[in-house]
Amino acid sequence: MKPYSLPDDQGHFGQYGGSFVSETLVHALDELKQAYEKYRNDPDFQNEFAYELKHFVGRPSPVYYARRWSERLGGAQIWFKREDLNHTGAHKINNCIGQILLARRMGKPRIIAETGAGQHGVATATVAARYGLECVVYMGSEDTRRQASNVYRMKLLGATVVPVDSGSRTLKDALNEAMRDWVTNVEDTFYIIGTVAGPHPYPAMVRDFQAVIGNECLEQMPANAGRQPDYVVAAVGGGSNAMGIFHPYINHENVRLIGVEAAGEGLETGRHAASLNAGAVGVLHGNRTYIMQDENGQIIETHSVSAGLDYPGVGPEHAWLKDSGRAEYVGITDEEALQAFHDCCRTEGIMPALESSHAIAHAVRIAPTLPKDKIILVNLSGRGDKDMHTVAERSGITL
Ligand SMILES: *Cc1c(COP(=O)(O)O)cnc(C)c1O
């Protein structure tokens, strides 16, 4: 296998990716691409990024052997990469640190972001506060209602939250509004995208910032488990925690990469967020990829018990990895994810995010079918405290 070196200069991963934006943004994206090319190889930038990840985020996050659960299942060993232990409770902060350091070097004093459930908004507001930059977060008004505590969290951190009243008043509408703001204020504004989507260079740039996850595993697994894993499993919403752990393993041919999408109420019901398993190729958020659309090319509403997997597209690199066969993508339903959530709490003393619970559920499904000397590494992308209300509601409990 040739060393993996995608995307090409135009941001293509095979037929996916690229840059589908209005004329006004072409220059801004060129500027960003040049800045990123310059700083990704700049020792000062890399040192500052590493310093912040260590002292502000708390990295490296450990790898952890889920011994009790593995032994109970009686098959392969299950290991967790503990992104839930990061400051703010998930992997999203890694990318936000990288992008805000870039914004500072590019002299952009104003930060914008879009958010669905509010997790990327909170991570962005956090780094904006850390560096004293102005921060505006777009959020569908339906989402601001459903996720009121995250709205308050962003406000406490000094951000302005703009509710978006168009369309279905959810993430895809917030995405459009953020793009519109960027077109209008492109001179002084940096747009922090929260996953491996958007126009080139975002998918590659976000992946590279998140690759710290997999790079740590490359060293931690031999040191702690005795060797590299046989399987790497991660939940896929837009796909950033999955790309972050997959990417350093792509050239390790014996390591199987498995992305887990939200099958919601079941793939056959149409009520899910599984773009790779059940979507079609189209353009969303400035790139070509698999998206959830109807016969007329309109984006359709997604469904998942976990707000963070509720994204109607998927990063273009995942589309490529699927078509090329280098990674596999499976679905886990709401019910299966909730079961894994409860079992993880009780068996390991770890409350995983509902997003991560999808990845865990798949690992738990395959572990008993594999010999005891096999190793499954699961990216535990975030902690589940934020999901307690959802879980309680599902169990008929009012908190
Ligand atoms: C946002 C989020 C996800 C999904 O986003 P990706 O870009 O697919 O990683 C997964 N897990 C957690 C904990 C999240 O907050």
Q: Is 385 exposed, middle or buried (0-12, 13-18, 19+ CB in 10 A)?
A: exposed
Give me the mean pLDDT over the 155-181 stretch: 94
Closest atom of ligand 1 relative to the 83 alpha carbon: 13
On the question of a cis peptide bond just before residue 316, with omega within 30 degrees of 0, the verdict is no
pLDDT exceeds cutoff 70 at 1: no
Question: From CA 378, how far away is CA 398, in angstroms rounded?
Answer: 31
381 flagged as catalytic: yes
Q: Pick the catalytic residue from 52, 114, 261, 317.
A: 114
The best mutation among 122, 147, 236, 240 to test binding of ligand 1, ranked by most ligand atoms within 8 Å of the C-beta, falls on 240
Q: Residue of the nearest CA to atom 10 in ligand 1?
A: 355
pLDDT exceeds cutoff 90 at 367: yes
The residue count for the chain: 399
Backbone angles phi, psi at 352, to 5 degrees: -85, 155
What DSSP string runs through 247-316?
Answer: GGGTT-TTSEEEEEEEEET-GGGT-S--HHHH-EEEEETTEEEEE-B-TTSPBPPP--SSGGG--SS--H
Give me the mean pLDDT over the 80-98 stretch: 98
Q: Residue of the nearest CA to atom 4 in ligand 1?
A: 237
On the question of a cis peptide bond just before residue 60, with omega within 30 degrees of 0, the verdict is yes
335 flagged as catalytic: no
pLDDT exceeds cutoff 70 at 302: yes
Q: Which residue carries 């504004």 as its tokens? A: 189
Give me the mean pLDDT over the 304-323 stretch: 94
Give me the mean pLDDT over the 345-363 stretch: 98
Question: From CA 360, how far away is CA 42, in angstroms rounded?
Answer: 37
Q: Residue of the nearest CA to atom 13 in ligand 1?
A: 382
Decide: 382 and 91 in contact? Cβ < 8 Å: yes
Question: From CA 126, how far away is CA 298, in angstroms rounded?
Answer: 34
How do beta strands 12-13 and 280-284 pair? unpaired
The best mutation among 119, 150, 258, 383 to test binding of ligand 1, ranked by most ligand atoms within 8 Å of the C-beta, falls on 119
Give me the mean pLDDT over the 8-25 stretch: 96
- Please list every protein residue whose CB sits less than 6 Å from any atom of ligand 1: 90, 92, 119, 195, 235-242, 308-309, 353, 355-356, 381-382
The pLDDT value given to residue 33 = 97
Give me the mean pLDDT over the 251-279 stretch: 96
Q: Could you tell me the two tokens for 346?
A: 């009780």
Beta bridge partners of 232: 257, 377
Give tens-digit pLDDT for 203-218: 999 999 999 999 999 9
Does residue 398 sit in helix, strand or coil? coil
Closest atom of ligand 1 relative to the 383 alpha carbon: 13
114 flagged as catalytic: yes
The pLDDT value given to residue 295 = 85
Task: Give 347 Cα–ligand 1 centroid separation in angstroms.
Answer: 23
